[in-house]
Structure 1
């Protein structure tokens, strides 16, 4: 684990965080240490393990980390996990040979690498531990439709796991740019510019659960947007879920001050002096911390041919060596047996790893 982060004190008495999680997009765009293009030897190691695992005929859910020995890649994966969980909060791996793989083989490669980083958890009420980010033709205005099922622009947000990972199989005809921003930097800028907004965002906000309700939980969850804890600033934010929860009669109404503070968060995230844009190539794996990074996507135009359309595979990972979480986050998320965020677990729904989007 990294050393105790430095915390400064703003004149308002709200903390400023001067640590690895507090970065600015243009600075990162000028660096290459967060990108690793796999070498021929690393790709060969992955291919050999994937073809051996594929030949067993096992369902992806049956495959374990022991089925993916990667001694050559292990030092790289250990460093990636450290940077994502305790450092800057993101990394990009390039070069998974998806053009040579079947969809099952791509999924096996992705699953195996994921098992070296954490434990896959369910991403929706269907129990999908292997997700598909592709346009299903659904309407994002529907209260129970999630953005990844559409081609719409996604606002900056976080997911319900330690790490969210995306493997690009195919890109869109146009658009679909990925953007990320340091939520710690957003907090620091709020403190500097509008400390009243910063204080508001330390209070409780209510989010719909999209009809995907865990055992003994309400139809909505509540937590602050920002939660300082043990020297770090944790963040949890889904503006669309907050706004859709307003249609629920049991959810308190947002105040004018809360709406203004949320608008400020969105404006800061969209500021090109803060965020980092990246375009995906087939074979890219993007890894993000949900605790320290907000992520977004521009709207996209897809190809008319179904077989060419934009398609990403997604993993939500719970990581035993992740940072200790604020109690307010744990109470909303629910946790695995080892105390990590457990995604979306609906009673009676078994885990599945589908190879087609649904």
Structure 2
């Protein structure tokens, strides 16, 4: 469709919410019951004792008789509803690292298929400060303690499990990308039109077969009656150093500035403090997520540590063709994360 300032769509659906409205609600938080935790414990024990590689654990190996139904409902809410969910109470304090990973992997199996998060083939990721410099063109923000601007990742759902919190800071924040779009249309339709056009992104040196070391996608894409969003401003800026990437125009820079100002509006975003054992599920298509900077503990064994899954869901929303061209597809036709030729999938237990 040919969009003009006069025919830009506005969306009044479950994906359009404000942070202040969500702060008054608690339906996005699920406290696991003793019975649900017992189901997880019962599934973890035999898999841990067998010594099986986490990658080889299937959904049949991890039965959750009652919790599985709730996890399916959470998946539907994340994919087709408000776009996020917090599951609270996984007993990570009494689990070994392997047991926590098995529990998290098993829960993830009931939500979707884990896909690779980086060029190393990690399907189980670790979000921790490696002391790297975020200004380096090939360093990604999760490897630092820097503030992460609002962005989306390359899968249907991104899931985070909190093992340990920082000494201070490190709040997680979410904002409805649909609400941000609506506000841009109302306030600056010229910027909305700009954000419907492709921006160029670095691939961080993680290049799939047959692809360039950059790609181009729009921030906002109307699709099948809803909005699909893709945005990582740091990747756009770092792509500027790559040969063949057009220079950003003043209109593109202004449009991103307008978008970023909306995501940081306290009326629009929702902050949440992670507790050990919290699992956060976020739709990459309808929710921008971010993290404040943090100060870590001096002791290595106390430092902030999250495990991460990127999940592909067969019942996810229809996505524009360019997202499948960007990432490739899983067997069920969903975006397949970051796949680099010759790199096998692994689920490391340690930060790497």
1:194-213 CA-partner distances (Å, limit 9, x unpaired): 00000000001000000000
The residue matched to 1:106 in structure 2 has which SS?
A: helix
Contact 1:163 1:290 in 2 (8 A): yes
Q: Please list, as runs of the form range in 1=range in 2, the aligned pairs for 1:337-348 lying within 5 A after superposition.
A: 337-348=331-342
1:62-93 CA-partner distances (Å, limit 9, x unpaired): 11111111011122111101100111000000
1:60 pairs with one of 54, 60, 72: 54
1:216-236 CA-partner distances (Å, limit 9, x unpaired): 111001110000011001100
1:312 matched to 2:324: no
1:165 matched to 2:138: no
Counterparts of 1:202 and 1:10, CA distance in 2: 11
Partner residue of 1:187? 181
Partner residue of 2:134? 140
1:227-260 CA-partner distances (Å, limit 9, x unpaired): 0011001100000000000001210111000000
Counterparts of 2:154 and 2:91, CA distance in 1: 29
Contact 1:179 1:277 in 2 (8 A): yes
1:44 matched to 2:43: no
Counterparts of 2:329 and 2:152, CA distance in 1: 16
1:231 matched to 2:225: yes
Contact 1:12 1:191 in 2 (8 A): no
The residue matched to 2:146 in structure 1 has which SS?
A: coil
1:199 matched to 2:217: no
1:151 pairs with one of 145, 151, 159: 145
1:239-282 CA-partner distances (Å, limit 9, x unpaired): 00000000012101110000000011100000001000000000
The residue matched to 2:262 in structure 1 has which SS?
A: helix
Partner residue of 1:3? none
RMSD in angstroms over aligned alpha carbons? 1.1
Counterparts of 2:72 and 2:157, CA distance in 1: 14
Contact 2:4 2:193 in 1 (8 A): no
1:273-320 CA-partner distances (Å, limit 9, x unpaired): 100000000000000000000100000000000000000000000000
Structure 1 residue 337, shift from structure 2 partner: 2.2
2:294 pairs with one of 294, 300, 305: 300
Give the TM-score taking structure 1 as reference length. Answer: 0.96
Partner residue of 1:332? 326
The residue matched to 2:55 in structure 1 has which SS?
A: helix
Q: Which moved more, 1:10-19 or 1:43-52?
A: 10-19
Counterparts of 2:31 and 2:208, CA distance in 1: 39
Partner residue of 2:168? 174
1:106 matched to 2:106: no
1:217 pairs with one of 195, 211, 218: 211
Structure 1 residue 330, shift from structure 2 partner: 2.1
Partner residue of 1:279? 273
Q: Please list, as runs of the form range in 1=range in 2, the aligned pairs for 1:15-94 lying within 5 A after superposition.
A: 15-94=9-88
Structure 1 residue 12, shift from structure 2 partner: 2.6
Gap runs ≥5 in structure 1 = 1-8
Partner residue of 2:247? 253
Counterparts of 2:30 and 2:168, CA distance in 1: 25
Counting matched residue pairs gives 350
Contact 2:327 2:339 in 1 (8 A): no
1:26-50 CA-partner distances (Å, limit 9, x unpaired): 1001001110000011111111111
Structure 1 residue 55, shift from structure 2 partner: 1.0
1:82-117 CA-partner distances (Å, limit 9, x unpaired): 100111000000000000100000000000000000
Gap runs ≥5 in structure 2 = none
